[in-house]
Chains A and B, each alone.
Chain A
């Protein structure tokens, strides 16, 4: 339905695309219903101009039937070694950073390693700051039924802490502080008593 009375009375102008034009613009394999609708013969609502309300009469039967979506390109990644790292220090001039690595694929002890910025994709380089987290995965990646060995460093894009998480952390800090103060007081008391 449209609020434009001229369109309802006189039909669409030459310049104005109609709902029918819009349906035709969709790729047929994505919009089976749209094609069925176009093939269904004369339907006045299809010849209304596109407007803020023109789609509304179609809403009931204009249900999209997209093809099954293509999955992500990476069909699988057989992990041979996976590390979770956090950046300890950054040397921007030297284009290096130092990171502590926790081996997520075995019980091997933590390691510290130097990385060149060149090992990080340009879109992630601004994320390389002290404390930043990343994953480093070495393994066999499957794309289009073909495998290739990969070594990928991907920086975490962590959302900012929620108000709840900050509040919880503050609460824990207060409790920890009270516990430490109580321990200090007890030790001082013991030391005074012993002296």
Chain B
């Protein structure tokens, strides 16, 4: 199938830093962040608290959503203008709780791709997942999700996982998610919070730049192809 897609719009959907470890959710109240100088007092006072409980804490301010369960900490923002502030907040929190065992960390970015036509959107799916292998197996196969992983290129344990899926609610849009995942060896978990603080300090900006580059790269490759396999190959 011959194609001539127009360049889609690519915008940051969200940024997040996630830890997996052992947490005490009750600590993570808006006023705790303010008392530690990590949030503005007014932001803490006006925070929308969903729940603060021994098993889960969840609140949002204008710019950040914090969710903590006993085994997971997540801080997310919807605008990349807050990228450096997200890093400051998470590093600050983890530095205050430096004895918290943390086993894994993800520095994550979601990017929304808005295609100019529904046809371009379908074509992007054919580009990523050729349909000939499904010929005679499925009727009108459509890509619902794709995950591609690469090992880390630095000395850390972990991987970079890229997920691409169409937006189920909005035809003509897709979301590319990049999960920059770090693993801490079991022997080092007791020192892990400090190590993760150091990794965020050194690598968060580069990780976010890489996520943008990955999304721009895959969209760029899409714009360079002139044919895709939609399953109608004779």
Does B42 sit within 8 A of A, measured CB to CB? yes
C-alpha gap A48/B178 in the complex (Å): 48
A83 to chain B, nearest CB (A): 11
**Chain B residues, Cβ within 8 Å of A157:** 37-39, 85, 88-89, 92
Known: A157-B37, A159-B88, A159-B197. A137 touches B60 (CB 8 A): no
Q: Are B48 and A70 in contact (CB under 8 A)?
A: yes
Please provide the chain B residues from 48 to 96 with a CB less than 8 Å away from any CB of chain A in the complex.
48, 50-51, 53, 55-56, 58, 60-65, 67, 76-82, 84-85, 88-89, 91-92, 95
* Contact, CB under 8 Å: A66 / B50: yes
Interface pair A74/B65, CB less than 8 Å apart: no
Chain A 51-66 interface residues, beta-carbon cutoff 8 Å to B? 64, 66
Look across to chain A and name the residue whose beta carbon is closest to the beta carbon of B53. A64
Is there contact, CB below 8 Å, between A156 and B56? no
Q: Contact partner of B60 among A71, A76, A79, A156, CB < 8 A?
A: A71
Contact among B38, B81, B92 for A135, CB-based, below 8 A: B81
Is the beta-carbon distance between A71 and B65 smaller than 8 angstroms?
A: yes
Q: Chain B residues near A121: list those with CB within 8 A.
A: 40, 42
- A22→B39 CA distance, assembly (Å): 31
Are B64 and A72 neighbours in the complex by a CB distance under 8 Å?
A: yes
Contacts of B48 in A (CB 8 A): 70, 73
Nearest chain B CB to A80's CB is how many angstroms away?
11
Closest residue to B200 on the A side, CB-wise? A159
Q: Give the docked Cα–Cα distance between A71 and B197 (Å).
A: 25
User: Nearest chain A CB to B99's CB is how many angstroms away?
Assistant: 14
Determine if A93 is an interface residue (Cβ-Cβ < 8 Å): no
A30-B50, A66-B51, A121-B42 known; A72 vs B88 contact (CB < 8 Å): no
A162: Cβ under 8 A from any B Cβ? yes
The answer to whether B11 has its CB under 8 Å from any CB of chain A is yes
> Given A157-B92, A159-B197, A162-B194 in contact, is the A72-B61 Cβ separation under 8 Å?
yes
From 39 to 93 in chain A, residues with beta carbon under 8 angstroms from any chain B beta carbon are: 64, 66-67, 69-79, 82, 84
> Interface digits, A138-169 against B, CB 8 Å rule (1 contact, 0 not)?
01010000000000101011111010110000
Q: From DSSP, what is the main secondary structure of chain A's interface residues?
A: mixed
Nearest Cβ on chain B to A147's Cβ, whole angstroms: 12
Known pairs A72-B62, A76-B11; A123 contacts B42 (CB<8 A): yes
Residues of A within 8 A of B95 (CB): 159-160, 162
Task: Tell me, in angstroms, the Cα distance from A30 to B198 when the chains sit together.
Answer: 36
Q: Is B41 an interface residue (CB 8 A)?
A: yes
CB distance from A123 to the nearest CB of B (A): 4
Interface residues of B, Cβ cutoff 8 Å to A: 11, 37-43, 48, 50-51, 53, 55-56, 58, 60-65, 67, 76-82, 84-85, 88-89, 91-92, 95, 194, 197-198, 201
Q: A residues within 8 Å of B by Cβ?
A: 30, 64, 66-67, 69-79, 82, 84, 121-124, 135, 137, 139, 141, 152, 154, 156-160, 162, 164-165
List 7 additional A-B contacts (Cβ < 8 Å) besides A74-B62, A75-B78, A82-B81. Answer: A66-B58, A69-B67, A70-B65, A137-B81, A164-B198, A165-B198, A165-B201
Can you list 19 A-B pairs with a CB-CB distance of less than 8 A? A69-B50, A70-B50, A70-B60, A72-B60, A72-B65, A72-B78, A73-B48, A73-B60, A77-B79, A122-B42, A123-B43, A141-B79, A152-B81, A156-B85, A156-B88, A157-B39, A158-B92, A159-B88, A162-B201
